[in-house]
Structure 1
Amino acid sequence: MSRQEITLSIQLAVKAPDVHRELVRIVGELDQFSIQEREDAAWVDVLVLEIGHDPAAEFETIRLLLKENVVGALFLTASEATTDLLLPAMRAGAREFFQQPIDAAEVKQALEAVLQKRLRELNPGSTVSEKGKIYSVVGAKGGVGTTTFAVNFATSIQALNKDRLVALIDMNPFTGEIPFFLDLKTDTDWEEIGRNLSRLDAPYLQSAMARHSSGVFVLPAPPKLDRELKMATGFLFKLVSAMREFFDDIVIDCGMSISGDAMKICEYSESIYLISTMSMPCIINVRKLQQSFASAAGVTNGRLQVVANRFEKKGQLSLAEASKLLGSDIVNIIPNDYPLTMSAVSSGKTVAEVAKRSQVAKAYRKLAQSVTGPQVGKAGGLFGLFR
C-alpha cells in the first residue's frame, strides 16, 4: 500500500482551547491524517492526551487504553515538562510529549514517524522512507575512545561508498575535539547554524559545514555558548531531524551525555553504540546506560550495541564475562593498538590513513559494512547540489 492510500485517525483529548485549535490546524495540513470526532470510536491511530491536575490517574488511563488495544500511538501534552511528569509518562507507554505552546514542526515529525511505522507494517521488506540514518555514539565513561570511534566509524562508512553523504556531528560543547582529530579548520558550529535555522537547506549546509578530505561533512560543537543567543527548546534534535533530508548517514558523538536532546536523538537512531573497555567500572556503567535507555526512551538491545574498544584477550574481563553481566552478546570489537591510535590522533588522521591494513582499520571497515548494506542512491532535488 502506498503513502497516498493511507489515512490515519487522530483523536484530541485536549481541553486547552488554543492548544486544541493549533493541533487541528496542524493535522489539517497533513494529507495522511484526519481528526476523529467520535468519542466512542473503536480504534484511533493516534490519541493526543492533555495531562491535567491528576497525572497518576491519567497514566493509569493510558495503560488501560494500550492494554485494551484501542489506541495505536499515544502522545501527551502539558504546559510544563518535568522529569516527574515525563518519566512516568514514557513508562506508561506514551510515544511523544509536546510541551505547550505546541511546536508544529515537532508534532509533524512525530506523526510522520507513526505514518512510516504503519507503512513498514503494511509493506514488510520495502523501503518506505529515504531519510538518512542516525548512528549515536555514547561513551560509558571518559577516556574510553568515544570520539576516536565516531571519527573512524564515519570516515569508514564514507570510504565504502564515495557517493554517500555522511555527516559527523560533535554534541560536546566546550570539550568537543572532532576538528582536532581530523586536523580540520572549521568556521561554523551548530550554535552558529542555530542563528539561521529558518534557512536550513542543502546549499546552506554545504557551505556552512566543513568537509574533510575523506568526504565526510563535519559539524563541530561550539567552543563556548553565546549566553545572549537563546536556543530553541529541542534545537539539536530539530537540526538532526532536518539533516536527515540531506544526508544518507549521520554519526553523532554524544560523549557521555544522554539527557535532553541527546536522549531524543538516540530514540530516533538506527543504532546506539555504547563505547566501553573491558573493565568492571565501564561494564557497570554500560549496564546503567542500558537501563536508562530502556526506561526513558524504550530503546532495548535490538538497537543498543556495545563496542569493546581497545580490546585485549588478556584484559580484566573476558567477552563472555562482560556479556553475561550485560545480558547480551558483545559482537563489536575494536582491537587494542594504542601506538597506532595515538599516532592517528596526534597527526589529525584517521586510523585507515595511518595504517590501512591494520587490524583496527579492518575492524572499523567491518562495522561500517554492517550498516551500509547495498548501495542505495538518492536522485534529483537538492541532493545533486551536494554531489
Structure 2
Amino acid sequence: MTRVIIGMEGENLVADLMSILDEMDGYDVRAVAKSPSELLDLLGRLEPEIVFVHDSLGIEPISQTIRDIIARRPSAAVLQVSHSRTSDVVIKAMEDGARGVVAYPFAYEDVSNRVLAATDWTQHMEAVLAGAAMANTSRGTVLAVVGAKGGVGTTTIAAHMAHDHLVKNPGAKVCLIDVDIEKGDVGAIFEVRQSVSIADVAKVSGDLSPTAVNDAVIHHASGVNLLLAPLDVRDADFVTPAALRSIVALLRREFDLVIADGGGHVSPAQAAMIELAGECLVVTTPDVLSVRAMRRRMIAWESLGVREEAAFKVLVNKTDSSSLFPASAVEKLTTAEVLETKIPSSPRVLEASMNDRDPRAVTEVAWWRLIEQVRDEVGLGSSEGGSRGSKPARRRRGRARGRASTSTPQAPATAAEPPSAAEPTPTDPGPAQPAPASTPPPRVASESGAVAMETAGILPATVLLILIAWQVGVTGFSFLYAGHASAEAARAYSVTGSTSEAAEAAREAVPSVLRDRLSVSAHGDTVSVTVPIPKGSGEVTGLPTELTSTRTVVSER
C-alpha cells in the first residue's frame, strides 16, 4: 500500500483529490496537512512515498516547501498541485525537485498518470537508497518491546531476550535502552548505578557523536550494554521523538541489536520508538483488563499514524491452565500476529533473578528455550542452526491457512503451575550459568504423578460400581428363570402329583448354571421353586443370594 500525504488547505480540493485516489487501488491517504510545518512533521513520522503539495500552501514559496520535503525524505515523490499546468510551471516545479504538476479541477486520467509515474520513480529511488545504505554502513536490528499495561512483564522479557541473544551469539553487540522514561526498571533488573541516562544524550542530540553515546552506555558484567531512563522525572521532557530518532540512528550503527523497553503506557517517546523499530512486540497477559488495554493502545498507535495493528506481534505472558480466560482467545481479539510461544506463569523460576537482580541467575533450561523461541518468532533467531530460523515462517504460513488447529505446541513449561499435563515443570533454580542452546533439556517432573494418584483414588469406587451393576443384572436373570421354572414345576405337579417330577421339570426349564442348588417344595395347592443367584458381589452389596417363586396348582388328576 503506497502511503500518501496531502498538503492542501481547501477542503473541497482535498475531497476531490481523495475521491480520485480512492478509485485507484493501492493508495492510502495517511494525513492532510494545513501548513508547511505540519506537512514536514507528518513527513518525518509517516514516511510517505507520494506527497501532494498545493502551490499556495502557507506563506512560504512553494519552491522552498518542495526543497524541504526532498531534503528530509529524498525518496518521496512530490506532486505540485496548481491551478494550471503551463510549461513554465512544470519546468519550475521540476527544477525545485517535484516529479510532476497536477492541475485542478482534477481529472481522473491526469491524476492517475501522474501518480503512477511518481510511484515508479519512488520505488526505484528507495531501491537505490537502500542499496547505498547497505553498501556504506551496517545497520543493526531494532526491536521495541512494549506492554499492554503495567505489570505484564515487559521489562523482564526485554532484558532476558537481550541476555539470551548475547549468550547464543557471543560476538554480537547488544544494547538495551529504557524508553519507559518515567517508570523505567531496567536499571533495577540489572542492579546498576548510573551517573548519566538517555536524557543526558537527548540534551545533545542536535550534535550527537558516538563518543557521547558510549559515555552514557553502561557495560554490564553479563555483556549487555544499557542505556537507562533518567532518575529525575523532570528530565523526561528532554527525551523528545526527534532526539530519539537521532539516538536510535546512532545506536543502529554501533550495535548489532538494539532492544527498547517501551513500558506500558502511551507516551510520545514510546510512540516514536514503535515507529523507529523494525519489529514491535506487545506483551500482554491472558485476562480481560490486559487484552482490553492492549486493544486501546493499538488503536491509539494506529490513530497516531505510528503503526497499524496488523504490523504488531503479540506475546502472551503469564499463562495459567486454570484461568477462565484461555490464552488461545487472545488471537481472536486482535488482527496482530500472536506468537505461538506462550510464557507460563513462572514466579519461582524468576525469583532468583529478581532477588539477585541479574538475568543470569535463572538456570532453568526450559525458560531460556522459551525465550529463544520468542526471539525466533520475532526474527532474532541465532545465526547457528538454520532449521530453527525457519520455524517462524512455517508458523506464519500455518496461521495464514486459517489456524486449522487451535492447539499450540509449546516448549516445556517453567511455571510453578504448568499449563497442561504434557508440559514439564522445571525444578528450582540452581547456581549455574544458562545452559547453551545445544544442551538437551533434562527430564523433569510433570503432572503424571498427580494423575496416577487420582486414578488410584477412584479405582476402588469404579470396581465396586461395576460389581453392583453385574450383580443386579444376574439377579434379574435369575428372577426371570425362577418364574419360568415355577410354572413348569406347577404344571408337572398338577398332572403327576410327584414332587420329584416337578423338580425335574423345573431343572429342565433353567440353564445349567442354576440347576445345582435348585429346590422344589409342594404344600397343598402350591409349588415353590427356589433358584440360586450365581455368586458375584451379593455378600458385599447386600443383594439376595437366591430367589423363590411360588405358583398355585390346579389339579388335573
Q: Would you say 1:368 and 2:375 are equivalent positions?
A: yes
Contact map agreement 1:156 1:365 (CA 8 A) in 2: yes
Aligned counterpart, 2:143: 135
SS at match of 2:254: coil
Shift of residue 185 of structure 1? Answer: 1.8
Residue by residue over 1:47-74, the C-alpha shift from the partner in whole angstroms, topping out at 9 and shown as x without a partner, is 875343x357436635634754798998
Describe how 1:249-260 pairs up with structure 2 within 5 A: 249-260=257-268
Structure 1 counterpart of 2:357, one-letter code: G
Structure 2 counterpart of 1:336, one-letter code: S
Shift of residue 228 of structure 1? Answer: 12
Q: Which residue among 203, 223, 226 is the counterpart of 2:231?
A: 223
Q: Which residue among 337, 344, 364 is the counterpart of 2:346?
A: 337
Contact map agreement 2:145 2:259 (CA 8 A) in 1: yes
Q: Which residue among 318, 343, 366 is the counterpart of 1:359?
A: 366
Residue by residue over 1:79-111, the C-alpha shift from the partner in whole angstroms, topping out at 9 and shown as x without a partner, is 5659xx97xx97x998899x9999x99976644
Aligned counterpart, 2:300: 292
SS at match of 1:144: coil
Shift of residue 161 of structure 1? Answer: 1.1
Structure 1 counterpart of 2:318, one-letter code: R
SS at match of 1:372: coil
Q: Distance in 2 between matches of 1:278 and 1:334?
A: 11
Shift of residue 304 of structure 1? Answer: 0.9
Contact map agreement 1:293 1:299 (CA 8 A) in 2: yes
Aligned counterpart, 1:50: 7
CA change 1:64–1:199 in 2 (3 A) is same
SS at match of 1:278: coil
Q: Percent identity?
A: 16
Structure 2 counterpart of 1:299, one-letter code: R
TM-score (norm 1): 0.67
Shift of residue 348 of structure 1? Answer: 0.9
Contact map agreement 1:160 1:369 (CA 8 A) in 2: no
Q: Distance in 1 between matches of 2:52 and 2:301?
A: 15
TM-score (norm 2): 0.49
Aligned counterpart, 2:179: 171
Residue by residue over 1:316-353, the C-alpha shift from the partner in whole angstroms, topping out at 9 and shown as x without a partner, is 32232222222454423222211222331231111xx2
Q: Would you say 1:162 and 2:119 are equivalent positions?
A: no
CA change 1:149–1:71 in 2 (3 A) is closer
Q: Would you say 1:64 and 2:2 are equivalent positions?
A: no
SS at match of 1:243: helix
Q: Which runs of 5+ in 2 are unaligned?
A: 77-121, 385-557
Q: Which residue among 190, 197, 208 is the counterpart of 2:205?
A: 197
Please identify, of 217-226 and 58-67, the stretch whose mean Cα deviation from structure 2 is larger: 58-67
Q: Distance in 2 between matches of 1:108 and 1:252?
A: 28
Aligned counterpart, 1:307: 315
Residue by residue over 1:354-387, the C-alpha shift from the partner in whole angstroms, topping out at 9 and shown as x without a partner, is 23334322211222344234649xxxxxxxxxxx
Q: Distance in 2 between matches of 1:214 and 1:244?
A: 20
- How many aligned positions are there? 322
Structure 1 counterpart of 2:368, one-letter code: A
Aligned counterpart, 2:291: 283
Shift of residue 140 of structure 1? Answer: 0.9
Describe how 1:374-385 pairs up with structure 2 within 5 A: 375=383
Structure 2 counterpart of 1:182, one-letter code: F
Structure 2 counterpart of 1:359, one-letter code: A
More helix by share: 2
Contact map agreement 1:158 1:215 (CA 8 A) in 2: yes
Shift of residue 133 of structure 1? Answer: 1.9
Aligned counterpart, 1:241: 249
Contact map agreement 2:301 2:307 (CA 8 A) in 1: yes
Contact map agreement 2:5 2:50 (CA 8 A) in 1: no
Contact map agreement 1:49 1:76 (CA 8 A) in 2: yes
Q: Distance in 2 between matches of 1:149 and 1:136?
A: 11
Contact map agreement 1:76 1:94 (CA 8 A) in 2: no
CA change 1:183–1:120 in 2 (3 A) is farther
CA change 1:212–1:59 in 2 (3 A) is farther
Please identify, of 244-253 and 68-77, the stretch whose mean Cα deviation from structure 2 is larger: 68-77
Contact map agreement 2:174 2:257 (CA 8 A) in 1: yes
CA change 1:177–1:116 in 2 (3 A) is farther
Q: Distance in 2 between matches of 1:107 and 1:224?
A: 39
SS at match of 1:186: coil
SS at match of 2:260: strand
Q: Distance in 2 between matches of 1:334 and 1:274?
A: 13
CA change 1:282–1:111 in 2 (3 A) is farther
Contact map agreement 1:335 1:359 (CA 8 A) in 2: no
Aligned counterpart, 2:221: 213
Q: Which has the larger radius of gyration?
A: 2
CA change 1:120–1:165 in 2 (3 A) is farther
Structure 2 counterpart of 1:243, one-letter code: L
Please identify, of 188-197 and 55-64, the stretch whose mean Cα deviation from structure 2 is larger: 55-64
List structure 1 segments (4+ residues) > 6 angstroms apart after TM superposition.
45-48, 69-76, 92-97, 99-102, 104-107, 112-117, 120-123
Q: CA RMSD in A?
A: 4.5
Shift of residue 297 of structure 1? Answer: 2.9
Between 1 and 2, higher relative CO (CA 8 Å, sep ≥ 6) is seen in: 1
Q: Distance in 2 between matches of 1:106 and 1:255?
A: 33
Q: Distance in 1 between matches of 2:52 and 2:309?
A: 21
CA change 1:47–1:93 in 2 (3 A) is closer
